[in-house]
Amino acid sequence: SFLNKIVQSLNKVKKIFSKYDGMTPKIQQDLKDLGLEIIDGKTHTEIRIIDESRFEVSFAKTPSDKSRVGKNIVRDIKKTLL
């Protein structure tokens, strides 16, 4: 079902960002597999649905609070994209 796919996607996003310490090629590929793309800016990274620029999540390239950054990204993705 549709709701089941959202829950599965959210669980995958949580796993991807559980130990986040900066963007890696593996994370980029995992997000792409979920239909999300990475836009690498000068100071921030953005995640959005592929070919859909209306819904974006932006976060600093270099996380300052490494204990919270992954959880904050997941929260923002859940709120904005899922």
Summarize the chain as % helix, strand, coil (round to 5).
45, 20, 35
Closest CA to 77 of 20, 2, 1, 24: 20
Question: In the prediction, which pLDDT does 35 show?
Answer: 92
pTM across the whole model: 0.81
28 pLDDT more than 90: yes
Two tokens at 32?
Answer: 């792409």
Q: What is the pLDDT of residue 22?
A: 86
Question: What is the tens place of the pLDDT at every residue in 29-73?
Answer: 999 999 999 998 888 899 998 888 888 899 888 777 777 888 999
Structure tokens at 79: 């709120």
